[in-house]
Amino acid sequence: MSVHFDAIADEYHQKAAGTQQAVYDQISQWIDPLVSGKVVLDVGNGGKFAYDVALPSAVTALDLSEKMLAKISNPRVIRLIGNALNMNGVADSSVDFVILGLVLHHIAGSTRRETLSMLRQVLTSARRVLRPGGAILVTETVASPILSGLQRLAYPVSHAFLAPRVGMLYFFSQAELKDAIADVFGRVELHQRTHRIAGWLDPFPGTFPGVLKVPAWTFPMQFRSYLAHV
């Protein structure tokens, strides 16, 4: 997977940042006050930030791709090559705020069951590094019920096609995300927001950046954020 993201790093930043940045601009109005003065871990960062990096007391961007991290020019940001599944290199209870921004759909296994297990593994790693009273923000492209059902049926075929070439994608449903958060963190209160995007969208910015654009109103997914204080 790191080889794939190294290969597309330049194109991703040139062609695919529009939709992602539009979502992040909405998020920043919400979480800038929450990250102010905090120690932030931005997982799967890809060189893009959903907040003003001048506000936290410290920011670590963790990503598999060295070339994606090389896109970060701000000297305040610590760049750490690492895997979201274990977050090695980040100490236990050392972070106030974990951000998983548009990254979870890239973490997929050979089956749906394995993928859901990997989702919980990522969240468990986030719980490990969070201090008591910390918070986690998950932003994802959330599949509609119809798309989610079709995705389950097509998973074996799509995995056989995508995984050897660019890595597998899995777009979680709202229920799958909320259930996983509850399993790992308990029945914490979730603050949820839907991010409305207009114009033309790039559905696969981390896989086929700039190759396909669709009108926003036809997009069968929603950009949603889930914030939990744990």
Q: What pLDDT does residue 158 have?
A: 81
Q: Would you give the distance in Å from CA 167 to the centre of its chain?
A: 15
- Average pLDDT over the chain reads 86
Q: CA-CA-CA-CA torsion for 139, 86, 126, 121, nearest 10 degrees? A: 70
Q: What pLDDT does residue 51 have?
A: 95
Q: Which amino acid is at 97?
A: F
Report whether pLDDT(15) > 60: no
Identify the band that residue 22 occupies on the pLDDT scale cut at 50, 70 and 90. confident
Q: Nearest to residue 33, comparing CAs of 60, 7, 5, 52?
A: 52
Report whether pLDDT(104) > 70: yes
Q: What pLDDT does residue 48 have?
A: 84
Give the C-alpha separation, 207 to 46, whole Å.
13
The per-residue pLDDT for range 122-165, each reduced to its tens digit, is 999 999 999 999 999 999 999 988 889 998 898 888 877 776 66
Say which DSSP state 105 is in: G
The ranges assigned to domains in the chain are: 2-229
Q: Which amino acid is at 207?
A: T
Burial status of residue 11 (CB atoms within 10 A of its CB: 0-12, 13-18, 19 or more): middle
Length reported for the chain = 230
Q: Would you give the distance in Å from CA 106 to the centre of its chain?
A: 8
Q: Which amino acid is at 87?
A: M
Report whether pLDDT(20) > 90: no
**Cβ neighbours of 211 (radius 10 Å):** 13
For residue 229, the cross-strand partners are 135
Domain 2-229 in CATH 2.30.30.240? The answer is: no
List Cβ neighbours of 177 (8 Å cut-off, separation of 6 or more). 104, 119, 138, 140, 142, 226
Identify the band that residue 95 occupies on the pLDDT scale cut at 50, 70 and 90. very high
Q: What pLDDT does residue 155 have?
A: 86
Q: What pLDDT does residue 68 have?
A: 87
Question: Is-contact 226 135, C-beta < 8 A?
Answer: no
Say which DSSP state 141 is in: E
The per-residue pLDDT for range 202-230, each reduced to its tens digit, is 655 555 555 667 666 566 788 999 999 99
The per-residue pLDDT for range 177-197, each reduced to its tens digit, is 999 999 999 989 999 999 887
Identify the band that residue 52 occupies on the pLDDT scale cut at 50, 70 and 90. very high
Pairing of strands 95-101, 39-43: parallel
